[in-house]
Amino acid sequence: MKNSEHFLYPTWRWFGPQDAVSLAEIKQTGAKGIVTALHHIPCGEVWSVTEIQQRQQLIEDVGLDWTVVESVNIHETIKRGEPERNQYIENYQQTLRNLAQRGIKLVCYNFMPVLDWTRTHLAFPVEDDSFALRYDPIALAGFELFILKREGAEKEYSAEQKEAAQAYILSLTEQEKETLQKTILAGLPGTDEVFSLDEFNEHLERYGNIDTTQLRENLAYFLQQIIPVAEEVGIKMAIHPDDPPFPILGLPRVVSTEADLRFIVDSVPSPSNGITFCTGSLGGRADNNLPGMVQRLGEHIHFLHLRNVQRSADGSFHEANHLEGSTDMVSVMQAVIAEQKRRVEIGRSGVAIPMRPDHGHQFLFDANRHFYPGYSGVGRLRGLAELRGLELGIRRMLQIFEK
Ligand code: DNO
């Protein structure tokens, strides 16, 4: 018996009316739900019910629904644990209440200092001549040591690494250096902001005294204030992992490993304190066993980003097609379906976990439009189609909610 309420709920990230992919197009991708945010509201301000409703109306007008907010971003004073954070936490609570009032019950967020996901290359040509995002630690070191000139950075690299980084920077033209800088210092997703070197250095200075332990405490404080409100209004919070999942540019990271995620869910136990399981971000580390993490953390997973990265021996990685790359997506999907089965068996809600593809390649089909990096049309469409086919195939083979 086909029972589609047990399937993963296919969603698509849309950056709002200025996105090069339209809602009408999204409707034809197989996605049912939209993942979006009010990117035009400055981080830290309250999202009014009216603004939320306007965005929701646009989505519902084409027959889709606003399933997930990605993201309500967290103000830097909260991450740094400064006294002003309490006002921003109150604002965050109010935004959650307003979202709940409109029936929007799932919120993705991250706790990465200053930057969101970070890459060194946005158009890395792969085998089929499409373009992928890439992270190359040598390029990052080159930027950090010879362009940003971050104080203390030289102590973090071996003589060999410094040499390689210098050779890399010397091989670049002025324009290539500028592109590298802009790529690394791009601000939040859904905006075209890029930090200047001075602005970025100022941000780094403000993190001077904040190490991993302190950042983790600041996250726990945030959760203690936010989760009770989320629970009261029926919102599920889903923290997104760090990308890449290790410290960069001298900034600490606390959402990179299974132990990190375990600390987070244990710090304020609640059905509202959950995870966005992003296989692409977590897959940046070879020591993250992704199917095992789904098995062990499954009950806390509220949202899935299923994408793949290909890691190389030199520590670099690039975004692979969704079913290729270093992560065995088949095993991940099997673990996810097992978690859904468990939820059905214990009569728990939230079986149709929202899932989205992520970071599609830029294909020839996509050449004439200006997409946010990673958010191409056809590239992601391929990813979503592959993931849905994989899901259906596994269900049929295992006869789980499928004949
Ligand atoms: C990467 C995305 C991230 C993510 C935020 C969540 O493509 O998954 O931008 O949305 O980090 O807050």
Residue 266 lies in a domain: yes
Same domain, 144 and 210: no
Same domain, 104 and 184: no
Residue 356 lies in a domain: yes
Same domain, 150 and 16: no
Same domain, 33 and 135: no
Q: How many domains are contained in the chain?
A: 2
Residue 403 lies in a domain: no
153 pLDDT more than 80: yes
Same domain, 128 and 90: no
Residue 208 lies in a domain: yes
Is the Cα torsion angle 225, 229, 232, 236 positive or negative in sign? Answer: negative
145 pLDDT more than 70: yes
Q: Which stretch of 4-13, 130-139, 174-183, 185-194 has the lowest confidence by average pLDDT?
A: 185-194
Model pLDDT for residues 238-279, shown as the tens digit of each residue: 999 999 999 999 999 999 999 999 999 999 999 999 999 999
Same domain, 214 and 71: yes
Domain final residue, candidates 196, 217, 244:
196
The pLDDT value recorded for residue 368 is: 87
The pLDDT value recorded for residue 403 is: 52
Q: pLDDT class for 1, splitting at 50, 70, 90?
A: very low
Residue 382 lies in a domain: yes
Domain final residue, candidates 173, 196, 219:
196
Same domain, 349 and 372: yes
CATH of the domain at 65: 3.20.20.150
Same domain, 38 and 157: no
The response to whether residue 70 sits with its C-beta less than 6 Å from ligand 1 reads: yes
Same domain, 226 and 258: yes
Could you tell me the residue range of the domain that residue 52 belongs to? Answer: 4-118+204-398
Model pLDDT for residues 96-125, shown as the tens digit of each residue: 999 999 999 999 999 999 999 999 999 999
SS3 letters for the chain? CCCHHHCCEEEEECCCCCCCCCHHHHHCCCCCEEEECCCCCCCCCCCCHHHHHHHHHHHHHCCCEEEEEECCCCCHHHHHCCCCHHHHHHHHHHHHHHHHHCCCCEEEEECCCCCCCCCCEEEEECCCCCEEEEECHHHHHHHHHHHHCCCCHHHHCCHHHHHHHHHHHHCCCHHHHHHHHHHHCECCCCCCCECCHHHHHHHHHHCCCCCHHHHHHHHHHHHHHHHHHHHHHCCEEEEECCCCCCCECCECCCCCCHHHHHHHHHHCCCCCEEEEEEHHHHCCCCCCCHHHHHHHHHHHEEEEECCEEEECCCCCEEEECCCCCCCCHHHHHHHHHHHHHHHHHCCCCCCCCEEECCCCCECHHHCCCCCCCCCCCHHHHHHHHHHHHHHHHHHHHHCCCCC
What's this model's pTM, rounded to 2 decimal places? 0.97
The response to whether residue 116 sits with its C-beta less than 6 Å from ligand 1 reads: yes
Residue 219 lies in a domain: yes
302 is a catalytic site residue: no
Same domain, 232 and 297: yes
Domain final residue, candidates 196, 212, 232:
196
359 is a catalytic site residue: yes
6 is a catalytic site residue: no
The response to whether residue 36 sits with its C-beta less than 6 Å from ligand 1 reads: no
Same domain, 209 and 340: yes
For atom 3 of ligand 1, which residue has the closest CA?
117
302 pLDDT more than 70: yes
The pLDDT value recorded for residue 193 is: 83
The pLDDT value recorded for residue 37 is: 98
Average pLDDT over residues 343-347: 95
Which atom of ligand 1 lies nearest, measured to the CA of 278? 8
Average pLDDT over residues 297-307: 98
The pLDDT value recorded for residue 2 is: 47
Same domain, 249 and 343: yes
Q: Which of 136, 243, 260, 358 is catalytic?
A: 358
Angle, nearest 10°, between helix axes 212-233 and 258-267? Answer: 50
282 pLDDT more than 60: yes
Determine contact, residues 285/317, Cβ cutoff 8 Å. Answer: no
Which of 117, 191, 255 for a ligand 1 pocket mutation test, highest count of atoms within 8 Å of Cβ?
117
Q: Which stretch of 1-15, 46-60, 238-252 has the lowest confidence by average pLDDT?
A: 1-15
